[in-house]
Structure 1
Amino acid sequence: MPSFIKIMDVKINNITLKKAVDKVNKFLNGKDTKVIYTPNTEVVMIAKDDDKLKTILNDGDLTIPDGIGLVYASKIKKRPLAERVTGYDLSVEMIKLANKKGYSLFLLGGEKGVAKRASERLKNIYPNLNIAGVHHGYFKGTHIGYKNHEDEKKVIEIINKSNADILFVGFGAPKQEKWIHENKDKLNCKVIIGNGGTIDVLAGKVKRAPKVYQKLGLEWLYRLIKEPWRIKRQMVLPLFMLHVLFSRKNIVK
């Protein structure tokens, strides 16, 4: 089994959730800052026409297949990914690892108060978890076109002073990827993961799809039922499959 495949020139690690957790464990025992990206089908389609985002994703230390569409596409092209590995599931496993081994966690993202609420809920579930700090995502920084803004510098200083081992960045794609790429060398964390709406789910602000939807790979359908306005975003899924079906070059080992 190849260690990764390329889907529309985006490198996706061919990995199971268990092996991804093993990699995170190794990252936490290392000295360098490691970055994890969690692209789904929509993000890969954006990267197809955005060379900067594509380069950023390919520069990650671990890039997991968050979208079921990526898994289906790999199977259609007979280069199957081992399984879907969602950013949320990996993030939860990282929380469990931190709770067990004493690593500290910083939550960055969401509206004001959301990260704090998430930290409080996590402490109730994982009493040994060390929450190093929290900060909302509504500050002027690279993710919204304010590179090296004073607000961004202050946030980075807060994170570094917290001595956090793990940093969750939940700005949504592609904002979080661009922010992480720009600032990773300024941060002292061992592992940084861009995990979209994970903080919102941990805070109880957003509900994840029921297990049956998750198992069938239909979380996108659940979100569409709950949020019909997402229809424009979900139209990318059939477009993605058309690209996969009618081009031999879109998935390679």
Structure 2
Amino acid sequence: MQRMTILGVSIDRVDMKEAVSRVAEALMLNKKFFIVTPNSEIVVNANKDKTLFEIIKSADMVVPDGIGLVLASKIMKTPLKERVTGIDLMDNLLKFSSENGYSVYLIGGKEGIAQDAAENIKIKYPNITIAGTHHGYFKGKHTGNVDHPDEKEVINHINNANPDLVFVALGAPKQEKFISYNLNKLNAKVFMGVGGSLDVYAGTVKRAPEIYQKLGLEWAYRAIKEPWRIKRLGAIPVFALKVLIKKDKPM
């Protein structure tokens, strides 16, 4: 699969259909497959956080979640095929799992969020098998607590559930670090960090209206609804400026 780099961070030039197809192949071959879904903020942070940079580099598939990456690729005259958002890819994989008999595990959010998300996913996809759920408030290497009992308990819970796919909603970069640090300890096949997607499935957070989604302006909608995000959104102009100045510069 062809990749390009934006500010040194590798991104796969895939559309949604191709992304799902690659996951399907990994499942069929019983192969471990790690998906990362960076946006502009994550790319900027990866240029500061060497561990995150190396994790993204090692991932089996890196899809362009943010519209900023798609626009940057056009500036660089190597356009990505389309924006592949994490929540839309997750939904496509849930649909695929429901239709093909694969089980999923949900981890993240406050107590009860993953369970509520699971119930709503079952309503949308009645044939899906939810192998298990767990909240995201636990300590581990991803929080700077190496060999913490919480993390061992979560790993055991996932392995006992024996899912095919694991969706981790701890927020970036914790979710990517949790997956990377424990990939070889977990029995599942496909792993993906999904940010705040479980809150959306649980119904506690409303996704941006479709018009915002189509225009790639979900970040603006979130800033309006959650003003505390504005500081984080400062990474977007930083990203744009670096792309314009550097075009692409490997680390």
Q: TM-score range by the shorter chain?
A: over 0.9
- Give the total of aligned pairs: 251
**Structural mapping, 1:133-144, within 5 Å:** 133-144=132-143
8 A Cα contact 2:5 2:248, kept in partner = no
| Structure 2 equivalent of residue 217 of structure 1 | 216
TM-aligned CA deviation for residue 132 of structure 1? 0.2
CA RMSD of aligned residues (A): 1.3
Q: AA paired with 1:90?
A: L
Matched, 1:119 2:115: no
| Structure 2 equivalent of residue 128 of structure 1 | 127
8 A Cα contact 1:110 1:171, kept in partner = yes
| Structure 2 equivalent of residue 92 of structure 1 | 91
Give the secondary-structure state (helix, strand or coil) at the position aligned to 2:71.
Answer: helix
TM-aligned CA deviation for residue 250 of structure 1? 3.6
Q: Which moved more, 1:4-13 or 1:141-150?
A: 141-150
| Structure 2 equivalent of residue 242 of structure 1 | 241
TM-aligned CA deviation for residue 38 of structure 1? 0.7
| Structure 2 equivalent of residue 166 of structure 1 | 165
TM-aligned CA deviation for residue 149 of structure 1? 1.1
TM-aligned CA deviation for residue 89 of structure 1? 0.4
| Structure 2 equivalent of residue 82 of structure 1 | 81
Q: Distance in 1 between matches of 2:66 and 2:236?
A: 10
Query: What is the TM-score when the length of structure 2 is the normalising length?
Result: 0.97
Matched, 1:196 2:195: yes
8 A Cα contact 1:40 1:65, kept in partner = yes
8 A Cα contact 1:30 1:190, kept in partner = no
8 A Cα contact 2:7 2:246, kept in partner = no
| Structure 1 equivalent of residue 14 of structure 2 | 15
| Structure 1 equivalent of residue 60 of structure 2 | 61
- In structure 2, runs of 5+ residues without a counterpart are none
TM-aligned CA deviation for residue 236 of structure 1? 1.1
8 A Cα contact 1:244 1:250, kept in partner = no
8 A Cα contact 2:168 2:193, kept in partner = yes
| Structure 2 equivalent of residue 208 of structure 1 | 207
| Structure 1 equivalent of residue 36 of structure 2 | 37
TM-aligned CA deviation for residue 141 of structure 1? 1.2
8 A Cα contact 2:106 2:114, kept in partner = yes
8 A Cα contact 1:74 1:81, kept in partner = yes
Q: Distance in 1 between matches of 2:248 and 2:131?
A: 45
TM-aligned CA deviation for residue 249 of structure 1? 2.9
| Structure 2 equivalent of residue 110 of structure 1 | 109
Partner deviation per Cα, 1:114-169 (whole Å, 9 max, x = no partner): 00000111111211110000000101112211122111111101101111000000
Q: Distance in 2 between matches of 1:87 and 1:55?
A: 20
Q: Distance in 2 between matches of 1:234 and 1:216?
A: 17
Identity value in percent: 52
Partner deviation per Cα, 1:175-205 (whole Å, 9 max, x = no partner): 1111111000000111000111111111111
Partner deviation per Cα, 1:200-224 (whole Å, 9 max, x = no partner): 1111111111110011111111001
